[in-house]
Amino acid sequence: MTITEERGRAHGYTDLPRLMGLMTGDEKHGPAATSTLDVLWVLYDRVLRVGPERPDDPGRDRFLLSKGHGPMAYYAVLAAKGFVPVDWLPGFGSYDSPLGHHPDRVLVPGAEIGSGSLGHGLPIAVGTALGLRAQGLDEPRVWVLVGDAELDEGSNHEAIAFAGPAGLERLHTVVIDNSSASHALPGGIAARFEAAGWSAVTVDGRDHEALYAACTAPHPGRPHVVVARVEPKSV
Amino acid sequence: MPDASGKAPTSMDTMRDRLAPVVSRLLDEDPRVAVVLAEIGKDAFTEAYRRHPDRVVNVGIREQLLVGAAAGMALTGLRPVVHTFASFLVERPFEQVKLDLGHQDVGAVLVSAAASFDWPAGGYTHMAPGDVALLDTLDGWTVHVPGHPDEAETLLRHAVAAGDDKVYVRLSVQANREALAVDGAHFRTVREGRRGVVVAVGPMLDAVLTAVAGLDVTVLYATTVRPFDAAGLRRATAAAGTDVVLVEPYLAGTSTGAAGDALTDLPHRVLGLGVGRRELRRYGRVEEHVAAHGLDAGSLRERIDGFVGGGVVAGRA
């Protein structure tokens, strides 16, 4: 099978466990490995205006995976949507594979940033939104996915506190909240963003309709955060 | 020392005084150019901000965001010029410099001020003599160290025009009396001798020329130190021999390895002079710190003469 044929095949949500299994060797995955899976699927399937046929289109939406740990769900979605050939997946993490345990934008088609060190995606997303605005590109939206414990990193708070008052309407953050922070944000995650002038919605991170509604809710003049609650990382 | 507005208490303007005028013109000329600031230096860009409110951004006192946001802008195709004091531009957000620019494979122009000891009364928190050495741990950086405000203008233009390269421009209140023509790449031969090569970096040139008066040495003037002009140094050693003295306005020995690499197949000796590692815990004036680090003309004379071993001649220079 050629790469083109494999890329051209349509994959659905139900294919994702099999695609992840090509990387993990097992089609059963615990909550930690799949914490981002439903959000990623809803974004790539219904929200983001992106596609493998227009990877460099200046008008495309930008999705920045900031929480680069455990990227199997991300690679599975990118493979399902045709950005990454499915036959790359079994090599996950090997020397000759473009697919590492943290993604590298230079190596992975469709990956807007390389990530792994926490707290870098949101500041870069702020700059991406500023850069698009400066060029009069009013259509593209910028999405960045962070983890709840990732919000421990102070760089996020530099970005959150700037983006609200700057009115970066095109900026969207989705926080995967699996209660993994040892010291949770006082007052809660949504309140932290709201205090900085963001629009905020908290939803069930497994409920596709609720996620879609939260991700497409209007938020004129303000950046928007979707807090997606999933099962606690450790119970 | 420059305050937040960039004014220095001298009659001659400083390199930093040229930053906003030069970059403001570039903002007018090139829609790719953007400026990112973290409070420091914003007053000089007031008019530029009025003209280009979307391309002149002050993120507040947030230096991780300063570099991260610049990287995001670069990802959309802009050419960000990022400015603050060296300690807050290179040291505090070093991981952002390494990852958000280097690892993301995008470029920016980082323009620092006050790096080594431009504001001695401000103390060690506002000193970053290790800035160039720190950037040396990363791949692909061009480093310009102008020695005069006119050279700073030229090198800023080179930096912004350098495609998507990663470029660091190190502005200082220390400066030579006269500007020389600089090309943004090569060392320039200022005088020729036969008993050694002295590489004077940026603002060190005047003191070096005073120091080597009557010594039979070649003086190269370096305002672009990365990439290191290995070919230029090798050419100079053909006539002047392979005793090499580096006089750098930042951490002593920063370019010793680069000079050694340039001469790796030749027997050679390298003396690296510059700012010492030891924290002085002194305030005072720039001249006092220059002397404390042995970078005044008298100290340089003694150290260079001692290294190249005399060779005093008349009628050269």
DSSP string, B281-312: ---S-HHHHHHHTT-SHHHHHHHHHHHHT--B
Contacts of A112 in chain B (CB under 8 A): 75
Check whether residue B164 and residue B194 sit in a common domain.
Answer: no
Contacts of B36 in chain A (CB under 8 A): 127
Residue B7, in any domain of the structure: no
Residue A9, in any domain of the structure: no
pLDDT at A9: 62
Q: Would the CB atoms of B72 and A158 count as touching at under 8 Å?
A: no
Nearest-Cα distance to chain A for B137, in Å, is: 18
Check whether residue B134 and residue B220 sit in a common domain.
Answer: no
- CB atoms closer than 10 angstroms to residue B313: 14
Considering only the beta carbons, identify the residue of B54, B69, B80 that sits closest to A123: B69
For A102, the domain range is 31-71+97-229
Query: Is a pLDDT exceeding 60 seen at residue A3?
Result: no
CA-CA-CA-CA torsion sign (A157, A161, A162, A163): positive
pLDDT at B9: 44
Residue B300, in any domain of the structure: yes
User: What tokens does B46 get?
Assistant: 């007031």
- Give the SS3 label for residue B142: strand
CATH value at residue A212 = 3.40.50.970
Residue among A133, A122, A158, A120 at smallest CA distance from B39: A158
Considering only the beta carbons, identify the residue of A114, A134, A154 that sits closest to B55: A134
- CB atoms closer than 10 angstroms to residue B39: 16
| 3-class SS letters over B10-57 | CCCCCHHHHHHHHHHHHHHHCCCEEEEECCCCHHHHHHHHHHCCCCEE
Residue B193, in any domain of the structure: yes
Check whether residue B269 and residue B156 sit in a common domain.
Answer: no
What is the spatial distance between Cα B244 and Cα A128, in angstroms, rounded to a whole number?
46
pLDDT tens figures, A194-218: 999 999 999 999 999 999 999 999 9
Nearest-Cα distance to chain B for A72, in Å, is: 20
Check whether residue B225 and residue B85 sit in a common domain.
Answer: no
Residue A5, in any domain of the structure: no
Report whether the peptide linkage leading into residue B227 is cis, meaning its omega lies within 30 degrees of zero: yes
Interface of A with B in 114-153 (CB under 8 A): 114, 117, 119-120, 122-135, 137
pLDDT at A30: 86
pLDDT at B10: 47
Check whether residue B202 and residue B156 sit in a common domain.
Answer: no
Contacts of A132 in chain B (CB under 8 A): 76
Beta bridge partners of B82: B36, B110
Burial of A45 (0-12, 13-18, 19+ CB in 10 A): middle
Residue B27, in any domain of the structure: yes
Contacts of A105 in chain B (CB under 8 A): 104-105
Nearest-Cα distance to chain A for B57, in Å, is: 9
Q: Would the CB atoms of B65 and A159 count as touching at under 8 Å?
A: yes
pLDDT tens figures, B32-78: 999 999 999 999 999 999 999 999 999 999 999 999 999 999 999 99
Residue A196, in any domain of the structure: yes
Residue B139 is classified by DSSP as S
Residue from A104, A117, A158 to probe the interface with B (highest B Cβ count within 10 Å): A158
Cβ contacts of A47 within 8 Å, gap of 6 or more: A61, A143, A212, A215, A216
Q: What is the bridge-based pairing of β-strands A199-204 and A224-229?
A: parallel
For B153, the domain range is 15-171
Query: Is a pLDDT exceeding 50 seen at residue A186?
Result: yes
Nearest-Cα distance to chain A for B28, in Å, is: 13
- Give the SS3 label for residue B188: strand
Nearest-Cα distance to chain A for B142, in Å, is: 21
Backbone angles phi, psi at B215, to 5 degrees: -90, 145
Cβ contacts of B87 within 8 Å, gap of 6 or more: B114, B115, B125, B126, B127, B128
Cβ contacts of B83 within 8 Å, gap of 6 or more: B19, B35, B36, B37, B40, B41, B89, B110, B111, B112, B113
Check whether residue B68 and residue B161 sit in a common domain.
Answer: yes
Check whether residue B82 and residue B163 sit in a common domain.
Answer: yes
CB B186 within 8 A of CB B160: no
Residue A26, in any domain of the structure: no
Residue appearing with tokens 């008019």: B47
Q: Would the CB atoms of A123 and B96 count as touching at under 8 Å?
A: yes
User: What tokens does B50 get?
Assistant: 């009025």
Q: Would the CB atoms of A123 and B60 count as touching at under 8 Å?
A: no
pLDDT at B253: 98
Residue B10, in any domain of the structure: no
Q: Would the CB atoms of A127 and B68 count as touching at under 8 Å?
A: yes
Burial of B294 (0-12, 13-18, 19+ CB in 10 A): middle
Residue A19, in any domain of the structure: no
pLDDT tens figures, B127-137: 999 999 999 99
How many structural domains does chain B have? 2
Place A235 in a pLDDT band, splitting at 50, 70 and 90: low
Residue B215 is classified by DSSP as B
Considering only the beta carbons, identify the residue of B54, B77, B100 that sits closest to A124: B100
Check whether residue B301 and residue B238 sit in a common domain.
Answer: yes
Beta strand spans in B86-213 (E) = 108-113, 141-144, 166-171, 188-191, 197-201
pLDDT at A10: 82
Place A134 in a pLDDT band, splitting at 50, 70 and 90: very high
pLDDT at A233: 86
Nearest-Cα distance to chain A for B247, in Å, is: 37
Compute the half-sphere exposure of residue B240: CA atoms within 13 Å on the CB side of its CA.
25
Query: Is a pLDDT exceeding 60 seen at residue A89?
Result: yes
pLDDT at A31: 85
Give the pLDDT mean for A143-149: 98
Residue B179, in any domain of the structure: no
Contacts of A159 in chain B (CB under 8 A): 62, 65, 68-69
Burial B155-179 (b: 16+ CB within 10 A, else e): bbebbbebeebbbbbbbbbbbbeeb
What is the spatial distance between Cα B17 and Cα A63, in angstroms, rounded to a whole number?
39
Contacts of B78 in chain A (CB under 8 A): 131, 134-135
Check whether residue B209 and residue B153 sit in a common domain.
Answer: no
A63, amino acid identity? F
How many structural domains does chain A have? 1
Q: Quick check: A108 contacting B, CB < 8 Å?
A: no
User: How far is the CA of A75 from the CAs of A69, A219, B269, in angstroms?
Assistant: 12, 30, 53
Residue appearing with tokens 């013109």: B25
Which positions of chain B have pLDDT values less than 50?
1-10, 314-317
Q: Would the CB atoms of B72 and A120 count as touching at under 8 Å?
A: no
Residue from A62, A118, A130, A143 to probe the interface with B (highest B Cβ count within 10 Å): A130
- Measured N-to-C along each axis, helices A154-163 and A121-134 cross at an angle, to the nearest 10 degrees, of 30
Residue among B215, B205, B284, B193 at smallest CA distance from B248: B205
Considering only the beta carbons, identify the residue of A106, A128, A162 that sits closest to B59: A162
CATH value at residue B76 = 3.40.50.970
Q: Would the CB atoms of B76 and A117 count as touching at under 8 Å?
A: no
Q: Quick check: A113 contacting B, CB < 8 Å?
A: yes
Residue A60, in any domain of the structure: yes
ipTM: 0.95
- Give the SS3 label for residue A176: strand
Check whether residue B33 and residue B96 sit in a common domain.
Answer: yes
CA-CA-CA-CA torsion sign (B262, B265, B271, B272): positive
Q: Would the CB atoms of A130 and B64 count as touching at under 8 Å?
A: no
Check whether residue B235 and residue B291 sit in a common domain.
Answer: yes
Closest chain B CA to residue A142:
B72
Considering only the beta carbons, identify the residue of B34, B54, B99 that sits closest to A120: B99
Check whether residue B258 and residue B301 sit in a common domain.
Answer: yes
